[in-house]
Amino acid sequence: MTTSTLPGDQAPPRIFGMPKLLFRCAKVAARTLALRQARFRAGAGAAVVLSLLLTACGGASGNGGDKKVVLTTFTVLADVARNVAGDKLTVESITKAGAEIHGYEPTPGDIRKASKADLILDNGLNLEAWFGQFVEGLNVPHAVVSDGVQVVSINEDSYQGKPNPHAWMSPVNVQIYVDNMVKAFSDLDPDNAGVFKANGAAYKAELQAVQDQMVSSLSGLPENQRALVTCEGAFSYLARDAGLKEVYIWAVNAEQQATPQQITRAIEYVRANKVPAVFCESTVSDAPMQQVVGATGAKFGGTLYVDSLSETDGPVPTYLDLIRHDADLITKSLAGAPTGAAS
């Protein structure tokens, strides 16, 4: 995330003595206003600046209530965390359902929320490119939930050699996420450590059941129908677990993606291997993949979920639903069954 100084590249009067958090909020607020083409008067007085800060950063009020607050970077982590926390902690997500996590730009409201949290959870593995700057200056502990997973490296494009950040697409990996959350929550709230441990164990059993179901479902695909072609290379861990061949248009969601060369490469692979169906993810446009469909005659298998859950009334309101949905859609589309048909 890039930030800009207040208009005029100079802080207004009496700002230099304010707490670091408020100054950061002021910069984010100014950037937000600039994005909306709002005009900040260069001669604004201290009263106007204070009003902006209180609006952007929410003043100094606390969270309220007795439960400690855990903030996650995106909805998938929030759902997993709620299963571990039970009713002992309040868990919230910075991003909302449907948001794209890689290039997310935090708002002043996000900084306000983070400043009031007791713990922040991030995925790590370079997923949240904005996170380091976001937490800088916040006096809030944070934990990286992917610590300890066996990473899969990206082997193409400018990201070659870097870890694929989508480690949660393996329920086996998410069991490690759970262990990290149990530890972090127990450190935060030692009185409920036993509850977190029990909740974590129960949820890990559910994760293993979903993992077994996913592998069993996908293992039934014929050898010549085991290519998983997607927009983003977000399925390396799922493909590893299920024995699929992963092919994608671009490696990681970024500002520069779906170049003509990348699309051509995907078209050539689909044609050469007679791939029956291709897919795209819910948080990006499927237009590039539709070009592949038009050029090859492959079926568009549907929308997969990775970086975000759906709303509660959507197809994947929980992480377990996400894995079930994706495995079911991939299996039926590659096997040639009508999508949405009963198993």
The string of pLDDT tens digits covering residues 58-80 is 443 345 468 999 999 999 999 99
Whole-prediction pTM = 0.81
CA distance 138 to 117: 10
pLDDT score for 159 = 81
Average pLDDT over residues 96-101: 90
Domains of the chain: 7-57 (no CATH), 68-212 (3.40.50.1980), 220-335 (3.40.50.1980)
- Lowest-pLDDT range, 7-11, 71-75, 318-322? 7-11
What token pair was written down for 246? 């992963």
Q: What is the mean pLDDT of the chain?
A: 84
Q: Which residues contact 140 (CB under 8 A, 6 or more apart)?
A: 114, 115, 117, 118, 119, 120
Q: Which amino acid is at 336?
A: G
The residues pairing with 302 across neighbouring beta strands, listed in sequence order, are 279
User: Residue 181: which pLDDT band, with cuts at 50, 70 and 90?
Assistant: very high
Q: Answer whether residue 17 shows pLDDT above 70.
A: no
Beta strands in the chain (DSSP E): 68-72, 89-93, 119-122, 142-144, 227-232, 245-250, 277-281, 299-304
Q: Which candidate, 152, 329, 125, places its Cα nearest to that of 237?
A: 152
pLDDT score for 195 = 99
Q: Which candidate, 146, 115, 161, 330, places its Cα nearest to that of 244?
A: 330
**Secondary structure class of 236 (helix, strand, coil):** helix
Q: Answer whether residue 301 shows pLDDT above 60.
A: yes
pLDDT score for 334 = 96
Higher pLDDT, 32 or 308: 308
For residue 196, how many C-alpha atoms fall within 13 Å in the half-sphere facing its CB? Answer: 21
Are the C-beta atoms of residues 218 and 237 closer than 8 Å to each other? Answer: no
Find the length of the chain: 343
User: Residue 137: which pLDDT band, with cuts at 50, 70 and 90?
Assistant: confident
Q: Answer whether residue 4 shows pLDDT above 50.
A: no
27, 98, 102, 138, 317 from 234: Cα distances, Å:
33, 16, 12, 30, 19
Are the C-beta atoms of residues 117 and 69 closer than 8 Å to each other? Answer: yes
Are the C-beta atoms of residues 144 and 124 closer than 8 Å to each other? Answer: yes
Higher pLDDT, 15 or 235: 235
pLDDT score for 65 = 64
Q: Which candidate, 95, 99, 98, places its Cα nearest to that of 131?
A: 95
Is the alpha carbon torsion for 23, 25, 31, 37 positive or negative? negative
Q: Which candidate, 190, 73, 195, places its Cα nearest to that of 134?
A: 73
Q: Answer whether residue 230 shows pLDDT above 90.
A: yes
Q: Answer whether residue 11 shows pLDDT above 90.
A: no
The residues pairing with 230 across neighbouring beta strands, listed in sequence order, are 248
What token pair was written down for 238? 């799922």
pLDDT score for 156 = 77
pLDDT score for 337 = 54
pLDDT score for 338 = 52
Which uninterrupted H or E stretch holds 53?
helix 46-57
pLDDT score for 223 = 85
Q: Answer whether residue 31 shows pLDDT above 50.
A: no
Q: pLDDT (tens digit, 9 = 90+) per residue, 272-298?
A: 999 999 999 999 999 999 999 999 999
Higher pLDDT, 255 or 235: 235
pLDDT score for 256 = 58
User: Residue 247: which pLDDT band, with cuts at 50, 70 and 90?
Assistant: very high
- Helix, strand, coil percentages (3-state) for the chain, rounded to 5, are 45, 10, 40
